[in-house]
Amino acid sequence: MDILGAAGRINVQGEEQQKLDVLANEVMKEALRHTGRVSLMASEEEEDPIPADPSAASGKYVVLFDPLDGSSNIDVNVSIGTIFSIQRRVSADGCANVIDCLQKGREQVAAGYVMYGSSTVMVYSAGNGVHCFTLDPVIGEFRLINHDVETPTTGKYYSINESNYTRWSPGYQKVVRCFKGVDDEGTGKNARYIGSLVADFHRNLLTGGVFMYPADTKSPKGKLRLLYEACPLAFVAEQAGGAASDGTRPILDIEPTELHQRTPLVIGSRDDVAFVERTLQEVEATVQ
């Protein structure tokens, strides 16, 4: 099957689509379209919301997804994933519409991800703890391996693309110097960065740590997508006792205004996220 390499198209995010991005998007749509429960979908790969079958027009739920997160890692056999967010439909009659998608992360009914790594794991929360399953290929089913996952309150890893250092605000530069132990108040963390959000998040969820993708001079609003990436992972993080912020406020409290809205993201262990927010605030105060 011809599934590797570029598809020769640019998606709505302005990024080059890989063949597997396109295939994963089709698989997700097909799987959700016929459930009868999903009236509308929204994908990171498509500009507009995608209606389900007319027979499912009254479906109670809306599903938003990043079909294949970590595209740059596909062809080199590094972990990638699928992220999903489930919202309750709020529009009363007729076809569900974009308003059903533009709900705060706090309103999510459930959210989670599947990670395709050395094993295939599915992690989800329906608002009652975080549960982790692994795919048993022999029986073709997911087995529960870890229920009520709790992430450490502080962790040993920080994860960020440091090649963007000169494009960050002084606050983020300070945070990273602290994590490296360069500045006095250094917390001396170890660096880990895969470049697939799902994989970076999953490692930090289990071991403790903080992932950051700040706004920078190249992406002034941040790079990651609020509805397809930040909100679902923030929901999982909070349910596991962690936190997620855009640097100043909880991700789950952001009122979305656009389907493909971007946001800065700081996510992971609670105390580490609080340290980042505090440091950003302190540096901001001295710069002004």
Residues forming the site for ligand AFP (CB under 6 A): 15, 66, 69-72, 161, 195-197, 223-224
For ligand AFP, which is the closer residue by CB, 228 or 235? Answer: 228
**Please, is 128 exposed, middle or buried when counting C-beta atoms within 10 Å of its C-beta (0-12, 13-18, 19+)?**
exposed
Nearest distance from residue 33's CB to ligand AFP, in Å? 21
Looking at the DSSP assignment, which residues form a beta bridge with residue 158? Answer: 191, 210
For ligand AFP, which is the closer residue by CB, 39 or 73? Answer: 73
What are all long-range contacts of 119-128, with beta carbons under 8 Å and residues at least 24 apart? 121/145, 121/202, 123/149, 123/202, 123/205, 123/236, 124/236, 125/235, 125/236, 125/239, 125/240, 127/235, 127/239, 128/239
Nearest distance from residue 68's CB to ligand AFP, in Å? 6
For ligand AFP, which is the closer residue by CB, 66 or 277? Answer: 66
For ligand AFP, which is the closer residue by CB, 15 or 284? Answer: 15
Nearest distance from residue 265's CB to ligand AFP, in Å? 9
For ligand AFP, which is the closer residue by CB, 229 or 277? Answer: 229
**Please, is 120 exposed, middle or buried when counting C-beta atoms within 10 Å of its C-beta (0-12, 13-18, 19+)?**
middle
**Rounded Cα distance, 288 and 277, in Å:** 17
For ligand AFP, which is the closer residue by CB, 39 or 85? Answer: 85
For ligand AFP, which is the closer residue by CB, 39 or 169? Answer: 169
Looking at the DSSP assignment, which residues form a beta bridge with residue 111? Answer: 85, 125
**Rounded Cα distance, 258 and 173, in Å:** 29
The kind and range of the H/E element at 237 are helix 231-239
Nearest distance from residue 196's CB to ligand AFP, in Å? 5
Nearest distance from residue 224's CB to ligand AFP, in Å? 5
Alpha carbon of 34 to those of 54, 62, 208, 213, 241: distances in Å? 10, 13, 38, 36, 35
**Rounded Cα distance, 190 and 277, in Å:** 19
Q: 270-287 and 170-180 are packed helices; what angle lies between their axes, rounded to 10 degrees?
A: 130
* Token couple for 175: 């945070």
Nearest distance from residue 7's CB to ligand AFP, in Å? 13
Nearest distance from residue 149's CB to ligand AFP, in Å? 21
